[in-house]
Amino acid sequence: MPPRRPRALLPVLALSLGLAAPLAPPAVAVTPEEGPGETPVARAVTSSGRPAKVADILEYCGTKRSACTFRIDPKQAREYATAVKSLGNAVVNCTTSDMGVDRTVTLRTSSTDNIGGEISGKITAEGTVSASGEVTTNLSNDITSENKTPNLKDGPTSTNGTKTSVAGGAKAAGSMSAKLAFEAAFKATYSKSWTIDNTETTVYKSTVKPYDMLVFGASAAMRRVVGDLVTDTGKKILNVSVDSPSMVNTSSFVAQTYAVPDRLCGRKRPAGDTAPDGDNSPPGGLRSAPAQEVPAARAVPPGADPKREVVLSSHAH
């Protein structure tokens, strides 16, 4: 799917940005920026400012719960929305009949950090598409897909998987001391508990016309927090960044309809409209029809513009 932006603005709520105090400062509306920007590079120093090893400080943080504290720099915090990426495969209709699609699309976003998962504890993330058409994936990863036999009741199904690699030596559980230090600092700064992961869903019913294909995508709403991990001996890891699901914005789902390239269906696409535009409420309800699914990256020609684009609301849970 081309990196298009949803045409609807992400819903914006309020964010409280003060340090812990008896009275929280007034809430400030925060509009998400485009993309995460460059990830800061974590750097370890001794109490005198000389270079040190990140691994050594993280190991010390794990020796006792009070070994490290986290100091957040609110000025470097930012809300952002990821580029739109495809979820699952493109639904391709190579028949001469309308095909009904009824899909629940699920997006799961999780936390990552720039010190090998020591705070987030997220080493890998995986996604699948179930037989009912539910899609789960993590947008921070590369997507690969494989086809399965179509389920004609709910439209065709597919499977996709994602995996993230992290720095060698990272711990699956993360450093408890570093994680607890970050959680405490986050709550003191934002007056809310840190959200490690989040799941959002949307339901979409539509009709795919003959020689059209439907591609689902999503733009995840995220928050980046930057600060320093400081030991009780004065050693520090500077510019530690943690990316987590946003607590003030919701992600955007998008359904895009494209004309099927000739090569996918093995014959020329008929000229003109091949079916009336029934959209989400076709006459007589949705009707199943044979179809196929192919990876969206292969199905959508580079630079192609969708014939139709619908931005869908999400439901967090």
Contact (CB, 8 A) for 125 and 198: no
What CA dihedral angle connects 178, 183, 187 and 193, to 10 degrees? 170
Q: Is the pLDDT of residue 157 over 80?
A: no
Answer yes or no: pTM beyond 0.75. no
User: pLDDT at residue 315 above 80?
Assistant: no
Cα torsion through 297, 300, 305, 306, rounded to 10: -100
Q: Is the model more confident about 287 or about 45?
A: 45
Tokens of 228: 């320093």
Q: What pLDDT sits at residue 164?
A: 35
**Is the pLDDT score of 228 beyond 90?**
yes
How much is the mean pLDDT over the chain? 73
Task: Provide the pLDDT for residue 303.
Answer: 86
In the chain, which ranges are continuous DSSP H helix?
54-61, 176-190, 262-265, 296-299
Q: How confident is the model at residue 111 (pLDDT cuts 50, 70, 90)?
A: very high
Average pLDDT of span 141-153: 38
* DSSP category for residue 65: T
Confidence of residue 292 (pLDDT cuts 50, 70, 90): confident
pLDDT of residue 269: 52
Burial (CB < 10 A; 0-12, 13-18, 19+), residue 205, is middle
Q: What is the pLDDT of residues 230-280, one digit of tens each?
A: 999 999 999 999 999 999 999 999 999 999 987 788 755 555 544 444 443
Tokens for 193?
A: 């508990």
pLDDT at 279: 42
Instruction: Report pLDDT for 65.
Output: 77
Looking at the DSSP bridge assignments, the partners of residue 224 are 78, 243
Q: In this predicted structure, what is the pLDDT of residue 290?
A: 52
